[in-house]
Structure 1
Amino acid sequence: MQDSRPELRALTGLRGLAAIAVALAHFQNTIPGYSGTPFMWHNAVDLFFCLSGFTLSYVYNPEMFRFSTYLTARVARIYPLYLVCLIAAGALYVWPVVINPISYPIRTAVSDFTLQLAMLNAWPVIGSGVHWDTPAWSLSIEWFCYLLLFPILLFQKALPSTSTRLLCIVVATSASFFLFAFFYDDRLVTPQLHVAKSPWSDWIALARGALGFTAGWAAFASFQKRDGLYVASTKFATLIWCGIAFVVVLAYCGLANSHALIVVYPFVVLAATDPTSITSRLLGSKPLHFLGVISYSIYMTHFVIFLGAVALFGEPAAWPLAVYVMLAAATAVVPVGTYFAIEMPARNALRGIQFRHVPI
């Protein structure tokens, strides 16, 4: 069971900003002359992991926790749209374009499809790391956290002191940064046969998810205790955001590694829990809050929209400005439609099936 705690609106808005950042990063890399230019790069996804660890810890009470109810809610939340986007990406791009007896044999494609159906393809050892709807790799890692990590963390004793909570956050985020900086291999996510540049590369996705999720769990412990970390984060919320902007500018100038931002994300999440700050009021405003509500649809559909544009207009190098305008418009409209037409009905239907089988 879950607690009926009030929504932290700023966290919903923060999720919307992260989704927009991911979409812009992917679209930016299609613009001739801008390929590789950073726009929040990979680390906005790490903010999602941190937010998940925090919000699940906020919502679920260990004394009332029922694994079946919790798991049904998670499946209802993510799987229907995940499945639709997987099939759409396969139909638009993989099956008509990528299947190749040498670079991506049909046997490998079928294996990847099967593992993606089970949301297991980002798991080391059993999966290849390939996801046809590219952002969906993080859903496979979220699934690992939902199934195995969160139930363990939920029943752990709270970290006993402010210093241990800070240490947990620093170690988790620093380890994630180190592993990404030295072992990340972007070739692994493309639908083709590949050899990882390092034996550690296959573990990077799982490490990022688990470490970010754990950092979010530790941040929630700080929020729950209203300790010094919470007080400092909420007091200096504006300064924290200015620091993020400063790191982004340095990264654009080639003077900093943008992925270092993940070290700050647990404190950004803590800062957003104070509804009285200027930044929290902005994040909780109606426009940003609505972005957060449809953030999952933005995250899952934007790459499929891009694939549709490629199918219609060819490679991005030849696109006129009008195509980019249409792409932006579709990215604004389609997630609203998928949220109300797919996410909400499917979520309500799956939860309704479960509630009909709960004994009175």
Structure 2
Amino acid sequence: MAVNKRFDALDSFRGLCAMSVVVYHVNMVGSVTELSFFRASHLLVDFFFVLSGFVLAHGYGFKSGLRFKDFFISRTFRIFPLHIFMLGVFILLEIAKWLAYKKGFVFNSIPFTGVTAPQEILPNLVLVQSWTPLTNPLSYNFPSWSISVEYYMYMIFFALTMLRGVGKYLAWAAISCSALYMLLHDHHGITENVLRGLSCFFGGCLTYVLYRKVADRIDLSYTAGSLLEMVVLAGTITVVALPVPEKTLTCILLFCLCVFTFSLEVGAVSQAMKRPFFLRMGVLSYSIYMTHAAILFCLLSLMIVLQKVTGWQIAPMVGDKRYLDFGGPVINDLVLLAILALVIFIAGITNRRIEKHWQQVGRSLTQSYALRRAEK
């Protein structure tokens, strides 16, 4: 099994899931944001965890001569630069809220209180906000709660790569199954977010073990592969959207099945996912995920100001949530498309200027260390 193989269809699905999470965080009256699938799209973060486990098991799980320093640099320079940049953006936004508050203008909450209290900054900075009940996982750039879980799971994963043979598989299975058991039985010793991550991530690792063992022996025709992909995808979408029994367990199992199915890349759906637009969404997925909360906050704040100035009810409160409403379902859907286009545009900038730049810095550091080792 080639370690440098790229799973293009899965990368594309990562981008589509990131966009679905954006839609989940947009509340727009009478628009497609109110569809049951998008109202449950927060569950797709579990898909990210499964996919990350699958991809890391492929890239590192069976790699000989793996060094922690190289792994640490690679993962840290992949995750932290954009995270720190966006944390800085949110701190600046909170300062702007504080200045407005001094002028008598309040944006939903008093600045530097609650989820944006000053004591939440350090846990966010070092990405531990999801690992302790003493911190708020949804503070500041709230999508980073899952990055907090994922980053330290990488380190657990690396430690387990030191195991050999069946011991590695058993360790992955033990962590995934025990975390899932505790998650389903409301165990309070570990935070729910961490349990979600552990169960899904190491479930993804096990999914890769299955792929590694059987993928070369699966010989599906294009028609059969297409039918399988459509059934699995339709089933996954349906379960996410509907209030099915044992939804957490069912979704995790379906996400593992979905990742395995589309890793084979044998049908029409996976081939469609290799088209340039979808591949681009996969490339931008991390930036889309990490930047969208700030973009939505700025847009919503602007609408609140316009509502106060003009008297137009374009940012009404519905229950305890702030919605957007520009006059009807059609125009609201068009505005939603414009918001998604803006998120993609900004994600393209942060991907190019921050993600790619710092990943190159990380690669340069790794190469420098490799040269020093060679010289010795």
Q: CA deviation at 1:199?
A: 3.8
Q: CA deviation at 1:346?
A: 1.7
Counterpart for residue 57 of structure 1: 57
Query: What is the TM-score normalised by the length of structure 1?
Result: 0.78
Counterpart for residue 268 of structure 1: 258
Q: Which amino acid aligns with 1:71?
A: F
Counterparts in 2 of 1:304-319, with a 5 A limit? 304-314=294-304, 315=315, 316-317=322-323, 319=325
Deviation larger for 49-58 or 242-251? 242-251
Unaligned runs of 5+ in 2: 98-106, 305-314, 316-321, 327-331
Report SS of the residue matched to 2:271.
Answer: helix
Query: What is the TM-score normalised by the length of structure 2?
Result: 0.75
Counterpart for residue 163 of structure 2: 156
Q: Which of 211, 219, 226 pairs up with 2:214?
A: 226
Q: Which amino acid aligns with 1:24?
A: V
Are residues 258 and 91 of structure 1, via their aligned partners in 2, closer, same or farther at CA, if it must alter by over 3 Å? farther
Q: Which of 331, 353, 357 pairs up with 2:365?
A: 353
Report SS of the residue matched to 2:143.
Answer: helix
CA distance in 2, matches of 1:263, 1:222: 14
The answer (yes or no) to whether the contact 2:236–2:258 under 8 Å persists in 1 is no
Q: Which of 242, 245, 269 pairs up with 2:234?
A: 245
Counterpart for residue 278 of structure 2: 288
Q: Which amino acid aligns with 1:66?
A: R
Are residues 78 and 236 of structure 1, via their aligned partners in 2, closer, same or farther at CA, if it must alter by over 3 Å? same
Q: Which of 14, 28, 32 pairs up with 1:31?
A: 28
Q: Which amino acid aligns with 2:272?
A: L
Matched-pair identity in %: 22
The answer (yes or no) to whether the contact 1:158–1:221 under 8 Å persists in 2 is no
CA distance in 2, matches of 1:239, 1:125: 42
Counterpart for residue 190 of structure 1: none
Deviation larger for 332-341 or 242-251? 242-251
Are residues 270 and 154 of structure 1, via their aligned partners in 2, closer, same or farther at CA, if it must alter by over 3 Å? same
Are residues 132 and 238 of structure 1, via their aligned partners in 2, closer, same or farther at CA, if it must alter by over 3 Å? farther
Deviation larger for 62-71 or 235-244? 235-244
Q: Look at both structures and tell me which one has the larger radius of gyration over its CA atoms.
A: 2
CA distance in 2, matches of 1:26, 1:257: 24
Unaligned runs of 5+ in 1: 184-197
Report SS of the residue matched to 2:191.
Answer: helix
Report SS of the residue matched to 1:129.
Answer: coil
User: Is residue 145 of structure 2 the alignment partner of residue 137 of structure 1?
Assistant: yes
User: Is residue 332 of structure 2 the alignment partner of residue 335 of structure 1?
Assistant: no
The answer (yes or no) to whether the contact 1:115–1:127 under 8 Å persists in 2 is yes
Q: CA deviation at 1:318?
A: 5.0
Deviation larger for 67-76 or 263-272? 263-272
CA distance in 2, matches of 1:229, 1:119: 41
Q: CA deviation at 1:16?
A: 1.2
The answer (yes or no) to whether the contact 1:112–1:130 under 8 Å persists in 2 is no
CA distance in 2, matches of 1:238, 1:213: 27
The answer (yes or no) to whether the contact 2:94–2:111 under 8 Å persists in 1 is no
Report SS of the residue matched to 1:130.
Answer: coil
Are residues 254 and 225 of structure 1, via their aligned partners in 2, closer, same or farther at CA, if it must alter by over 3 Å? closer
The answer (yes or no) to whether the contact 1:13–1:288 under 8 Å persists in 2 is yes
Counterparts in 2 of 1:117-266, with a 5 A limit? 117-125=125-133, 127-147=135-155, 149-159=156-166, 168=173, 172=176, 176=180, 183=186, 199=188, 203-226=191-214, 238-239=227-228, 241-246=230-235, 248-249=237-238, 252=241, 254=243, 259=248, 260-266=250-256
Deviation larger for 123-132 or 314-323? 314-323
The answer (yes or no) to whether the contact 1:12–1:284 under 8 Å persists in 2 is no
CA distance in 2, matches of 1:231, 1:204: 40
What is the total number of aligned residue pairs between the two structures? 330
Deviation larger for 149-158 or 295-304? 149-158
Are residues 94 and 317 of structure 1, via their aligned partners in 2, closer, same or farther at CA, if it must alter by over 3 Å? farther
